[in-house]
Amino acid sequence: MCCAACGAAEADHIKLKKCTACYLVRYCSVKCQKEHRPQHKKECKKRAAELRDELLFKQPESTHLGDCPICCLPLPIDHTKSNMMPCCSKAICNGCDRANQMREFEGRSLQERCPFCRTATPKSQEEADRIQMKRVEVNDPEGMRLMGFQRQEKEDYAGAFEYWTKAAALGNADAHFNLSLMYHEGKGVEKDKKKMWHHLEEAAIAGHTFARHNLGFLENKDGRYERAMKHWIIAAKLGFDASLETLKDAFGKGYVSKEDFAAALRAHQAAVDATKSPQREAAELAREELAPYQTWG
């Protein structure tokens, strides 16, 4: 192996470092890298784009939501079917949440507790806010995302941007998605298409189905139909209904092959089935039975 600029071979006193954008060439020094940049720029940019696409279009094993930490089944994409615990920043499926409530009721417990960490449920908003801040103070990305959401509800967009930026830096997919919306709408920040795309892609890579679905529409709008179909296929395979419906329309118009559509259809059903359990179905039934009473007043 030799330096791409000066040709120096790697030795005990010469350590070559790869170009961190394309990984195609190596350099013995920053000086050599800068001198070789004009010759290498075009090839580097092309290979970097190829590597980015390999990462972007890789099918995630699951959505960014992951599994319920109690029953270990994938969390449903529908956020109404799970609850975020502010004490430990764990998303608990409705099935496990209801099972915990039933257990506490049968045991005549006077104090409700988190199904996962067993922390007592806060009795006031002030106590809940203190618990939330503790999660932020320990750099918990989900805690920061939730804090950003609270700031957004108060129309403190600068505060929301600050918390979501920190959460995104720690890998939170929802924070990346929220930042993409801010850069798109220009709330709290100046509109920036490049940064909007970046955060949308980062969210999609992490398994955020809505972000992936939106990327499909953006690619389709710009005339990159093949890339759009890839995005919708990936999202559909993760169980995202809207992407599957879009693929149905695209298949009818001949934009998607029969084989690709059939594979997406099978994977979508498998993803949806994986989130089901008798415990979750019982919780959903109980919620539907209570719904009419919750609208009174």
Name the token pair of 46.
């092309």
Say how many Å lie between the first and final Cα of the chain, rounded.
76
The more confidently predicted of residues 72 and 101 is 72
| Cα distance between residue 69 and residue 177, in whole Å | 23
Residue range 233-279, pLDDT digits in tens:
999 999 999 999 999 999 999 999 999 999 999 999 999 999 999 99
Q: Is the pLDDT of residue 54 over 50?
A: yes
pLDDT at 291: 66
Cα separations in angstroms, 264 against 134, 235, 246, 257, 282: 42, 9, 12, 11, 29
Phi, psi of 47 (to 5 degrees): -70, -35
User: In the predicted model, is pLDDT for residue 295 greater than 70?
Assistant: no
Mean per-residue pLDDT of the chain:
93
Per the listing, tokens 């409530």 go with 101
User: pLDDT digits over 179-231, tens only?
Assistant: 999 999 998 899 999 999 999 999 999 999 999 999 999 999 999 999 999 99
pLDDT higher than 90, residue 142: yes
Q: How confident is the model at residue 91 (pLDDT cuts 50, 70, 90)?
A: very high
Q: How far is CA 159 from CA 79, 199, 230, 264, in A?
A: 24, 18, 35, 40
pLDDT at 162: 96
Which residue, among 4, 6, 2, has the nearest Cα to 22 in the 3D structure? Answer: 4
**Can you give the pLDDT at residue 292?**
63
For the chain, give percent helix, strand, coil, nearest 5. 60, 5, 35
Residue 128 has pLDDT above 80, yes or no: yes
pLDDT at 196: 97
Handedness of CA 159, 164, 195, 186 (dihedral sign): negative
**Facing residues of 92 across strands?**
83
Q: How much is the pLDDT for 123?
A: 84
Q: Look at residues 204, 199, 206, 207 and name the one whose alpha carbon lies nearest to residue 216.
A: 204
pTM of the model as a whole = 0.89
Question: How far from 182 is each of 85, 150, 161, 204, CA to CA, in Å?
Answer: 26, 15, 8, 16
Query: What is the token pair recorded at 202?
Result: 């980062």
pLDDT given at position 188: 87
Read off the pLDDT of residues 144-175 as tens digits, 9 standing for 90 and up: 999 999 999 999 999 999 999 999 999 999 99
Percent pLDDT > 90 in the chain is 82
- Reported as a pLDDT band with limits 50, 70 and 90, residue 40 is very high
Per-residue model confidence (pLDDT) at position 296: 44
Q: Determine the residue type at 240.
A: F
Higher-confidence position of 184 and 289: 184
Q: How many residues does the chain have?
A: 297
